[in-house]
Structure 1
């Protein structure tokens, strides 16, 4: 049975918000398209046990908007979208659910490309792909891009070195004390790269097995997940869920540079100004963590590793540009980054024929 798709009223400035339901498969999902001004929307699918629909809507819309900005800054020729499946990935997820989700994506006729995110694996995406042409981040085949995590970690690492050069006068990380919050696929890969560059690691994660592994293999120190702002560090790399930087935590932070893979690290936009006033350089998350979507985009556009590497180099160059502008203009890096994206979107909208905008 085809999933039932119901169009909900999207927030102002968003193009579409769809509720997809297939009760027989246990599927209740939201698909949000923020913008297709630069191309079809692309963004991962997250599975999470939201407390209710309102919380899920808040998350999917916030993430979809972030994908518009991320894809624009990475120069991918893609718009922004996101999807969330409501449920516990460890308990509720089934192959039938993922196939039903794939059918829902297919019904959007190419306006949205999906891929893995929190709670969803490449194997899950393969199930979805059995029902849609618009599931990517797959393994195998001539253009399968596979797990995007290593590309995300590589992009964060490159941007972190650019930030270090600006803040500390050198991109050399030897002896720099770096706290990595979150040791999932991306956080662990980033920690390994930092260790290889000679950084001194402090790690935090609710998964104690991952923490112990980092202690043994990478010589990392560790702290409790609720004490991440206590250690004295040079660099903070948030690689868990979003909202970690609040007004309160920003006031406690000892690091002079923040660069990590987590989405939506700032609890509110005002935190960026708090960090700036404290002399802490924040690298906007949607710029530095674009490596994963770059990998996925290579599958959509049927490009190779060279194309991916060129765009990774491009996001590092954009970080350097926005750092220079932020310092020269006395503005936050987020303000600079947002204004750069808004100009891109405005140029694209203005370039479209009037009948296409109707």
Structure 2
């Protein structure tokens, strides 16, 4: 294909393209599978990152998501101290209508062709049970009881809790959650577990979700106040915890923020690089998403079948210390926290030296 063909240049000239090592477009006519696997950087090891299934408005949106999320995984794995690179996959389709066992198995076959350069796991729209179906067609799937500790969501939520405490301590001098008003936007797997943890810590919890019935269940289960998902960021609170989809912090929403701390589980929370500057200018302490939400990938990378999660728990709770270091360095250098987190992640990548052999078959 001519390199000037728009189908090629649309990827190489894409704003989110960051010297990605490999972008694979996957299809299967029999099952209707359309998926994208993006491998960003394998200098630290083979790429690990979840699979997201979403009804994207266009294939271009799916490409953007795959490129941005895979880069985020490189930085997440680096900051977490894991010897793993960054990758991500997206399946284009409505998970409630289009997902079938055959489609998931077809996706697994595509993962298998990469020979271990990419290992997948669950993400938005993909459950532990779905990943078990993917695993029938590839040995490079994680996040199932057979491959480790199963659902990584509780570990992601625990890491978010640790990060919220670190942010509170940095901003207020105390990591006490009891009595703090915390607005949680998004009640998926991670958001629900986080709501449970915050309720047990006696936070004054406000919950919001695009699914009104889910928000109502959380209101009853956790004694929470309920809010509308699209306006939750405006509520006056100690902490705003975005746990839905990305790009929620942008030129429109940042001036409206009602909390002095943003610390949540959503990936790619900043719509643009300028939004970190906007948060700093407003005096909002931001816990960079890929630093605070690394608990799940830690559980996938370090766990072994059998249920002993001691090493995982130690690394997950250390997320708070990682964030403390980011906050201190950001203050000292007068830089946004996301810029500092990026710098720390890149420093480790650069120490790793030249990129790994593209034909490596090492597994997680």
TM surpasses 0.5: yes
Question: CA–CA distance in 2 between the matches of 1:302 and 1:287?
Answer: 27
Name the residue aligned to 1:167.
Answer: 171
2:288 is equivalent to residue 296 of structure 1: no
Deviation at 1:168, TM superposition (A): 1.4
Question: CA–CA distance in 2 between the matches of 1:109 and 1:213?
Answer: 43
- TM-score computed with the length of structure 1 as normaliser: 0.92
2:356 is equivalent to residue 344 of structure 1: no
How is 1:304-323 mapped onto 2 (pairs within 5 angstroms)? 304-323=308-327
2:94 is equivalent to residue 88 of structure 1: yes
Deviation at 1:316, TM superposition (A): 1.7
Q: Any conservation in 1 of the 2:303–2:309 contact (CA below 8 Å)?
A: no
Number of equivalenced pairs: 346
Name the residue aligned to 1:233.
Answer: 237
2:339 is equivalent to residue 335 of structure 1: yes
**Range with greater deviation from structure 2 (175-184 or 296-305):** 296-305
- TM-score computed with the length of structure 2 as normaliser: 0.91
Q: Any conservation in 1 of the 2:148–2:307 contact (CA below 8 Å)?
A: no
Question: CA–CA distance in 2 between the matches of 1:302 and 1:191?
Answer: 27
Deviation at 1:302, TM superposition (A): 9.6
Name the residue aligned to 1:144.
Answer: 148
Name the residue aligned to 1:3.
Answer: none
Name the residue aligned to 1:180.
Answer: 184
Deviation at 1:271, TM superposition (A): 1.1
Question: CA–CA distance in 2 between the matches of 1:300 and 1:334?
Answer: 32
Question: CA–CA distance in 1 between the matches of 2:266 and 2:18?
Answer: 25
Deviation at 1:221, TM superposition (A): 1.0
Deviation at 1:12, TM superposition (A): 4.5
Q: CA RMSD in A?
A: 2.0
Q: Any conservation in 1 of the 2:112–2:139 contact (CA below 8 Å)?
A: yes
Listed one character per residue, the Cα deviations across residues 150-184 of structure 1 (whole Å, up to 9, x for unaligned) are 00000000011011001111000111111000111
Which among 30, 44, 54 is matched to residue 36 of structure 2? Answer: 30
2:116 is equivalent to residue 117 of structure 1: no
Deviation at 1:314, TM superposition (A): 2.9
Deviation at 1:273, TM superposition (A): 1.1
Name the residue aligned to 1:44.
Answer: 50
Deviation at 1:212, TM superposition (A): 1.5
SS at match of 1:228: helix
- Structure 1: which 4+ aligned runs deviate by more than 3 Å? 7-12, 299-304, 350-353
> Higher RCO, 1 or 2 (CA under 8 Å, sep at least 6)?
2
